[in-house]
Amino acid sequence: MLSRIGDRIARVFRASAPDPFVLAVALTALTLVLALTIGRQADGSRWALSDVAAFWSADTGVWAFLKFAMQMCLILVTGHALAASPPMARAINALADIPRTGAQACALVAFVAATLGVLNWGLGLIAGALIARDVGRALHRRGVRAHYPVIAASGYVGLMVWHGGFSGTAPLKMTTMPDVIDVLKPALAEQVGVVPLTQTILSPLNLVTTGGLVAIACLVMAMLHPKRDNTGAALESFATFHPDPAPSTPSADDDKGALPRLLEDTPIASVFLIALIALWAWKYYFPAQSPSGITRLSPDTVNLTMLMLGLALHGTPARYVAAVNDAATGCAGIILQFPLYAGIMGMMNASGLTAQLATGIASASSQSTLPIYTFLSAGVINFFIPSGGGQWGVQGPIAMQSALDAGVAPAKMILAVAYGDQLTNMLQPFWALPLLAITGVRARDIVGYTAVLMAIAMLWIIACLLLF
């Protein structure tokens, strides 16, 4: 039954869903129309077309996320490079040979993508894409005609759990006072204070919510696969059916001297850098007195840790650089579209649209319903600002002020924003761009299936926010 529903919805999306870049342009146009029609600035005046300079502003418009965009690119690149390391590649190939049916393939791919997504969203996204592609190829070799788009969609589910994991931006941005001040500004930051990960990512609310989402993703994606494996779109319908070109390898330049060979093709330079990072990691994760760094991770510390692990697993600088070169192509969509979404955020802020939405939600909520309405509004805002950090910068101050006014724990509101941000990734294809490149499918091929998962996951998150 669920597979038939998913197939009908998928057909609608395949016929109507635009390219992710076109969607970003369309959302820019929609935001401009809303800003001009219902937008109100801080002084109550209407937002005019002449105010569109907010879109191009260096501080609040299209260039506002340059630092954060670089952090996100590094998360993606270091996660991809780690997933492509020989030990990880062997593990992925071994896992790909396990499923014997399309439904089993979907469950396995969803489990890998979701569990790794909890650890690091970049690792979950890339490993999910790689195992989806390799599982599809393994099934094809054995003559199992599976529905490949559902398998590829299963590789994207890590983006539905990531914000409750250890690379979740909103929780991480609240673990140090400089980051808290950067988002909330001094006055509100003083009232809220630092919120350690023991109250957010490691809290009972999040452990139950995120653990449940992982299980739901595996079950639903398996149920979405057609019951008969000889139906639907098979692997050979997509570009990934053809073997990949040989991966990038270190240059075999015969003119390379002894010293360059020694530094590039042996572990010496990698070991030196790993040792330097390891000294930091030991003090950060296992301090003598202060709490472990695991409770106060930030995007920068996550990236540094992933760099250390990737260097160690690749062995030599040349191999790691080759893996990074391969991974960097996945950043193209981020580089091209991030400025547009930063500009959308600038227009929403300058025109008061975000404040109107969040304030309206807060005024219509009680103490018990505020986290739920905040969660739902975060899901809407994610369509316009598909960035955990960007959205937290916009919605975080309003959510924290609402929490103080209503007597709701700030940690719960942080998670409510995080859950809303991650949920609608199943409809917003921005972060699917690297997965699409690896698996060979199009966004319109997978969003129908992830939309069904999103609807079921939304009910689970609301139940958890009511229960805890």
**What string of pLDDT tens digits covers the 468 residues of the chain?**
787 787 788 788 777 777 778 888 998 999 889 888 888 877 778 888 777 776 787 777 888 778 877 887 887 788 788 878 899 888 888 888 899 999 999 999 999 999 999 988 877 888 898 899 889 988 988 888 889 999 999 999 999 999 999 888 899 889 889 989 988 889 999 999 999 999 999 999 999 999 999 999 999 999 999 876 455 566 666 655 544 444 555 555 556 677 777 777 888 889 999 999 999 999 988 888 777 777 666 668 878 998 999 999 998 999 999 999 888 877 887 788 888 888 887 888 788 887 787 677 767 777 788 999 999 989 988 888 877 877 888 788 889 988 998 899 999 999 999 999 999 999 988 888 788 878 888 888 999 999 999 999 999 999 999 999
Each domain of the chain, given as residue ranges in start order, spans 2-243+258-467
DSSP letters for 358-422 = HHHHHHT--TTTHHHHHHHHHHHHHHH---HHHHHHHHHHHHHHHHHHHT--HHHHHHHHHHHHH
How far apart are alpha carbons 89 and 310 in whole angstroms?
12
According to DSSP, the residues that pair with 40 across neighbouring strands are 46
pLDDT of residue 461: 98
| Burial class of residue 221, CB neighbours in 10 A (0-12, 13-18, 19+) | buried
Largest distance between two CA atoms of the chain: 72
pLDDT value, residue 413: 95
The token duo for 30 is: 């929609």
Which residues, other chains included, contact 45 with Cβ-Cβ below 8 Å and sequence gap of 6+? none
Query: How many angstroms separate the CA atoms of 236 and 133, rounded?
Result: 12
CA distances from 55 to 20, 62, 342, 346 (A): 20, 6, 8, 6
DSSP state of 61: S
Cα separation, 245 vs 324, in Å, equals 16
294-317: b or e for each residue (b if 16 or more CB lie within 10 Å)?
A: ebbbbbebbbbbbbbbbbbbbbbb
What b/e sequence results for 359-392 when a residue is b if at least 16 CB atoms lie within 10 Å of its CB, and e otherwise?
Answer: eebbeebeeeebbbbbbbbbbebbbbbbbbbbbb
- What is the Cα–Cα distance from 425 to 385, expressed in whole angstroms? 11
Tokens representing 321? 């650089």
pLDDT confidence of residue 73: 84
pLDDT at 74: 86
Structure-derived torsion over alpha carbons of residues 83, 327, 299, 68, reported in degrees to the nearest 10: -160
Which one-letter DSSP state was computed for residue 244? P
Q: Which two tokens stand for residue 346?
A: 């600038």
> Which residue is it, tokens 């409750």?
164
- The Cβ-side half-sphere exposure at 405, using a 13 Å CA radius, reads 14
201 contact partners, CB below 8 Å, separation of at least 6:
164, 165, 166, 168, 171
CA 63 remoteness from chain centre: 21
Per the structure block, which two tokens stand in for 299? 């995007």
pLDDT confidence of residue 313: 94
DSSP 52: G
Output the pLDDT for position 358: 67
